[in-house]
């Protein structure tokens, strides 16, 4: 996603696409950005706030007034529930919509505005049978040193060269207007080479595209119903990819509960230490990194094995379950953690 975004940003900055397209692109990136940042941001916020409350002895006062660790954690769990609803709305609706719009925009740029894809001094493969090279661009936006190789007809390949040219983008596609050049056509059957010299030649690039009229929508562009119940005519790999993507969309929102529970379980149980809680903070950060690594590993495993699907839910909920048990039972059933938590 990030690579695609940077690619389109480059097209906008260096190839003259409008600022409106850039703003629209930025909006389309936001759902994915929030899906990644929200759970991690919740972890950082909870860790910072409760560490600050402990440093200022406010948690000590609350505990002395009779509030249990679970009672202190209740507001955080409520906020995590709100975050879960937000993440579910992103996964169920906003993510597929934004991905679909992003891909449609990318498809439109690549298939209608070919000029935006061309870079100076580079052979650009527009299709597997059409290659365009431009030497440079001048201050008027013209391209200099144009070379086109068209092998759509393998028996009669065509090569076009022009001193300079200009692209004209229209609603039905791009046109390349070339000046002072020649068109060479080679007949493989007869071995004859035909050369046409021109002062002005217009090439309709839209007619040279072999892109499909209807684009196949990938798993990231599908809604949950399409992912969990994909069409039966898909190949095995695509079918499994749809199923895994659907369950991943359901599992990711659950991770926010574990992300907020990790700092709660590290900071609330045990005795308070007025000299600071650096070891507890480091423990929380380490556990969060371990949780994130395990979560990514299981998701990668699930991409190739159906057995990884239930593991996604298990990994996303396991830290929450263990942490909730520690807050509820005061660490009695998790005594092997008490020495680390009491430091």
DSSP string covering 31-92: HHHHHHHHHHHHHHHHHHHHHHHHHTTHHHHHHHTT--HHHHHHHHHHHHHHHHHHHHHIII
Is the model's pLDDT at 205 over the cut of 80? Answer: no
Q: Under a CB-based contact definition with an 8 Å cutoff, are residues 186 and 153 in contact?
A: no
What is the average pLDDT value for the chain, to the nearest integer? 84
Q: How far apart are CA 181 and CA 200, in angstroms?
A: 8
Q: List, for residues 85-132, the tens digit of each pLDDT value.
A: 999 999 999 999 999 998 887 777 666 556 666 778 888 777 677 888
Q: Which of 29-43, 210-224, 256-270 is predicted least confidently?
A: 210-224
Q: Under a CB-based contact definition with an 8 Å cutoff, are residues 139 and 127 in contact?
A: no
pLDDT at site 122? 82
Q: Which of 139-148, 210-219, 285-294 is predicted least confidently?
A: 210-219
Q: How far apart are CA 22 and CA 24, in angstroms?
A: 5
pLDDT at site 130? 81
Helix locations, the chain, DSSP H: 2-15, 19-55, 58-64, 69-89, 95-112, 224-228, 236-251, 255-267, 278-302, 308-329, 338-341
Q: How far apart are CA 242 and CA 227, in angstroms?
A: 5
Q: List, for residues 22-33, the tens digit of each pLDDT value.
A: 778 778 888 988
Is the model's pLDDT at 214 over the cut of 80? Answer: no
Question: What is the percentage of the chain residues whose pLDDT exceeds 90?
Answer: 48
120 DSSP 8-state letter? B
pLDDT confidence tier of residue 215, bands split at 50, 70 and 90: confident
Is the model's pLDDT at 331 over the cut of 80? Answer: no
Averaged pLDDT for residues 292-300: 95
pLDDT at site 18? 66
pLDDT at site 77? 96
Q: How far apart are CA 232 and CA 24, in angstroms?
A: 35
Is the model's pLDDT at 161 over the cut of 80? Answer: yes
0.85 exceeded by the pTM? no
pLDDT at site 115? 62
Is the model's pLDDT at 223 over the cut of 90? Answer: yes
pLDDT confidence tier of residue 341, bands split at 50, 70 and 90: very low
Q: Which of 45-59, 219-233, 305-319, 321-335 is predicted least confidently?
A: 321-335
Q: How far apart are CA 310 and CA 85, in angstroms?
A: 21
pLDDT at site 260? 97
Averaged pLDDT for residues 172-179: 80
Q: How far apart are CA 131 and CA 122, in angstroms?
A: 10
Q: How far apart are CA 19 and CA 32, in angstroms?
A: 21
pLDDT at site 320? 97
Phi, then psi, of 306 in degrees rounded to 5:
-60, -25
| Residue 243 CA to its chain's centroid (Å) | 18
Q: Under a CB-based contact definition with an 8 Å cutoff, are residues 130 and 152 in contact?
A: yes
Averaged pLDDT for residues 27-48: 93
> Which is more confidently placed, 115 or 282?
282
Averaged pLDDT for residues 179-204: 91
Provide the Cα torsion 254, 227, 310, 80; round to 10°: 0
pLDDT at site 289? 97
pLDDT confidence tier of residue 166, bands split at 50, 70 and 90: confident
Q: How far apart are CA 140 and CA 138, in angstroms?
A: 5
Averaged pLDDT for residues 57-80: 89
């Amino acid at each position: 996603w990030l690579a695609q975004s940077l690619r389109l940003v480059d097209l906008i900055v260096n190839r003259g696409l409008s600022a409106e397209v850039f703003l629209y692109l930025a909006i389309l990136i936001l759902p994915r950005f929030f899906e990644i940042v929200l759970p991690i941001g919740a972890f950082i916020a909870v860790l910072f706030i409760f560490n600050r409350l402990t440093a200022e002895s406010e948690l000590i006062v609350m505990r002395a007034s009779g509030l249990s660790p679970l009672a202190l954690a209740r507001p955080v769990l409520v906020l995590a529930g709100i975050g879960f609803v937000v993440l579910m709305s992103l996964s169920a609706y906003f993510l597929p919509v934004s991905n679909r719009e992003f891909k449609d925009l990318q498809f439109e740029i690549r298939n209608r505005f070919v000029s935006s894809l061309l870079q100076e001094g580079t052979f650009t493969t527009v299709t597997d049978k059409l290659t365009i090279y431009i030497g440079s661009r001048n201050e008027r936006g013209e391209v200099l040193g144009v070379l086109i190789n068209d092998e759509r007809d393998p028996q009669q390949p065509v090569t076009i060269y022009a001193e300079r040219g200009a692209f004209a983008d229209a609603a039905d596609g791009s046109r390349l207007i070339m000046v002072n050049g020649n068109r060479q056509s080679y007949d493989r059957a007869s071995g004859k080479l035909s050369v046409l010299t021109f002062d002005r030649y217009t090439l309709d690039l839209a007619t040279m595209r072999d892109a499909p009229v209807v684009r196949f929508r990938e798993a990231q562009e599908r809604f949950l119903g399409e992912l969990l119940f994909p069409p039966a005519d898909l190949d095995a790999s695509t079918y499994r990819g749809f199923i895994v993507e659907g369950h991943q969309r359901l599992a990711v929102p659950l991770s926010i509960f574990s992300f907020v529970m990790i700092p709660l379980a590290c900071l609330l149980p045990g005795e308070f230490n007025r000299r600071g809680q650096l070891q507890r903070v480091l423990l929380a950060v380490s556990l969060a990194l371990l949780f994130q690594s395990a979560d990514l590993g299981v998701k990668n495993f699930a991409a190739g094995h159906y057995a990884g699907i239930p593991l996604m839910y298990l990994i996303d909920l396991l830290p929450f379950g263990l942490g909730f048990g520690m807050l509820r039972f005061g660490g009695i059933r998790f005594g092997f953690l008490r020495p680390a938590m009491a430091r």
